[in-house]
Amino acid sequence: MQNSNICSASKPPSWTNFPRRPRTGSRRRRNRKKRTESKPGLQSGSNAALKKELIRWYKGHHRELPWRKTKDPYKIWISEVMLQQTTASAVVPYYEKWLDLFPDMKALSQSSQQEVLKAWEGLGYYQRAINLHQAARTMCRKNVCTIPDKYEDLIALPGVGPYIAAAVLSIAYGQPYPVLDANVRRVVMRLAGIHGQFSRRTDKILFGRIKAIFPARNGGDFNQAMMELGALVCKPRNPACLLCPVQRSCLAFQRGEQEVIPTPRKRSCQKIETVVGVIRDGRRYLIQKRPPQGLLAGLWEFPGGKREKGETLRAALHRELREELTAEVKIGRRLLTVRHAYTRFLVTLFAFECELISRPKFRKGSPRWVFLKAMKRYPFPSGSARIVRFLEDTESRRERSRLTG
């Protein structure tokens, strides 16, 4: 009877009913050691070791950059805006020149937009400079010519997004805001072994992962260490994993997947051909200002425009000059061809020497006759700036020839 009752039970006896084997002291020590050793994949047990190794590496290997020698919120703000989409080596001379011209928020707010764009000339992404100028004026109109120390106030300024706000608040004010730029995204994706491309969806995941390892103190150093690691070691191609201070915590390295994480984004580059006329009146040249909105807003250029499909270069220039200046021109020789790459465009610019047949009626773009020597006061996009340098070199050769001849 007893056996039949056991066999007819609805479920087998639970293993929890059996007495457990008592833990020995050596086993407890092994478990304690296992909990604290470094593990790959940003697991909770590896956080302390990862942070310690990362900060130690940063203090011994970081680049000596001018913005790292200050805690001035204004200077850090300027550097972080300049560093967006631009390498540190390219930023250094612009940063130093900028601070000579606009040493503080008040000086920036009192400058003209043309002065600001001229200081930015050649750095690209000119909307960044316009946003800096607008933000400075916004703050100084409130009689507060300082960078806000509250996230909601800082992110409300023109051109300030989550990354800029987090970088400034953590580095300048020591507040606990983790940054998430391209370098940090790549580092975290490899550490956690997350496949895919950069996207809003992955950003939510990455932000959660980085918050889990973000230190309660010295958040600015941690942010800069993560960015520096991505710039110097955890590069998009050929990462130097053998030199990485957090190699033991990296799941991508453990799996041999560091070369395929993250998935590179395929970008198509649109090819555009433009034609411009270098129109001269005595010793002055005709230039015009681009609209206040859109690509290269507020910069100056030589009149012209995009070549349409099926048009010859000269036909395109005739059409553009009639539309922009309501004037007839005689198109002469081609002066030079300039190629310049933007993020999504590859522009080929053809510059022609032109002579006015009828006087232009200025309708848009603020056309202006300007002496060549005065052009250094005007901000030009890279293509037009190369035309200006060509004209200056030509003028210089003529002057030398006149003096020696």
How many angstroms separate the CA atoms of 143 and 138, rounded?
9
Task: Round the CA-based radius of gyration of the chain to a whole number and report it.
Answer: 30
Catalytic residue among 80, 301, 320, 324: 80
Cis peptide, bond prior to residue 292, ω within 30 of zero: no
Q: Are strands 270-281 and 345-356 parallel, antiparallel or unpaired?
A: parallel
Q: Which two tokens stand for residue 329?
A: 């021109």
Q: Which two tokens stand for residue 189?
A: 């994706």
Active site residue 80: yes
By CB atoms closer than 10 A (0-12, 13-18, 19+), residue 72 is middle
Q: What is the 3-state secondary structure (H, E, C) of the chain?
A: CHHHHHHCCCCCCCHHHCCCCCCCHHHHHHHHHHHHCCCCCCCHHHHHHHHHHHHHHHHHHCCCCHHHHCCCHHHHHHHHHHHCCCCHHHHHHHHHHHHHHCCCHHHHHCCCHHHHHHHHCCCCCCHHHHHHHHHHHHHHHCCCCCCCCCHHHHCCCCCCCHHHHHHHHHHHHCCCCCCCCHHHHHHHHHHHCCCCCCCHHHHHHHHHHHHHHCCCCCHHHHHHHHHHHHHHCCCCCCCCHHHCCCHHHCHHHHHCCCCCCCCCCCCCCEEEEEEEEEEEECCEEEEEECCCCCCCCCCEECCEEECCCCCCHHHHHHHHHHHHHCCCEEEEEEEEEEEEECCCEEEEEEEEEEEECCCCCCCCCCCEEEEHHHHHHCCCCHHHHHHHHHHHHHHHHHHHHHHHC
List residues with catalytic annotation. 80
